[in-house]
Amino acid sequence: MSPDRNDGPAGYVRLWRRITESPVWTTLEPTVLKVLLPFLLKANWKTKTWYDGHSQVEIPRGSFVTSYGKMAEFCQLSPKQARSAFAHLQRLEFAAYTRAGRWTMVTILNYETYQGSLEEEGTVEGRVRAGLGQDEGRQRATTKEVKKGRREEVTPEGGTASTSTALLDLSCPVLLAQPVTEEDVIRQTAERLRQRHPEVHRCGLTEVRRLLRAIVSKVPQGERAAKLAAVEANHAAWCQSEQWTKDGGQFAKGLNNWLAPTIGRFDDEPPAPAPRGCTTLPKATQQIAENLRRIHGTA
């Protein structure tokens, strides 16, 4: 199965109309929006694993695996247009990327906050009936009625404003809402890191949050969400590596050690596994072996 295909249960995308105030709508080329929407549609609504030909890769909720070529083909764009859109969405802190060989993992930033709990995710029918009342019945849960749904939000001036949302029958539920605080993102990231880490080398949740704060304190304000996403993506990759999965995680780094800001292991991606049956040695190693054979007269 293709890694950038989302075969989850039917659902919908919840898209705030204030996206029309975003640079994606007001300033940038339409190709950026044409890539943003597939990002939302393809993101996993629950964590899955995918075999990349060498090892199992965990694809977290809110992420998916693709490539420039696949995304360009899906969006009917040129590879150059797809690359440019990827770059804009990263600079806008909409998404972060982890690249490994022939694939790229796309992670939508703040996905967890925008989505709510997994228990709230269901089919279009279930969500519509919950919001409009079961007494309306199945046949009355039409698109027209859904558009009547309103949501109160607090304005910067402290008042309230009613904001409409559009519910579309698509493949994964996503909510583009107001920005969350940095502390919210740190808290949620810490919980996922600790839950994912090999149990024998975990540390306390308070310690994880402290270390994440220290990591982002060294990064400009506008780049902190992307930094946290990159740290989490590297952590997910390490947790799938041969070194960290061997013997129940006995050889994994302690989570507090891996997150230590003074060491910076969180910036390192795990080594790519060698292809099966590969016996080719690095050139330097081949040269050493050749010299030893000559010395011992076994050449």
Domain boundaries, the chain: 1-117+162-178, 181-269
- What fold, for 1-117+162-178? Arc Repressor Mutant, subunit A (1.10.10)
- DSSP 3-state assignment of 155? coil
Taking CA atoms, 128 is separated from 7, 40, 43, 142, in Å, by 21, 20, 22, 9
Mean pLDDT of 265-282: 66
- Within 10 A of 181 (CB to CB), how many other CB atoms are there? 9
Contact 207, 256 (CB under 8 A): yes
Rounded Cα distance between 237 and 271, Å, is: 10
Contact 60, 107 (CB under 8 A): yes
Q: For residue 88, what are the contacts with CB-CB under 8 A and spacing of at least 6?
A: 24, 28, 32
| pLDDT digits 0-9 by tens, 103-140 | 899 998 877 666 555 444 444 444 444 444 444 444 44
Beta-bridge partners for 160: 154
Q: Which pLDDT band, with edges at 50, 70 and 90, does 4 fall under?
A: low
| pLDDT digits 0-9 by tens, 154-205 | 333 334 333 333 333 333 333 344 446 788 888 888 989 999 999 989 999 8
- DSSP 3-state assignment of 29? coil
Taking CA atoms, 47 is separated from 44, 54, 115, 201, in Å, by 7, 19, 14, 22
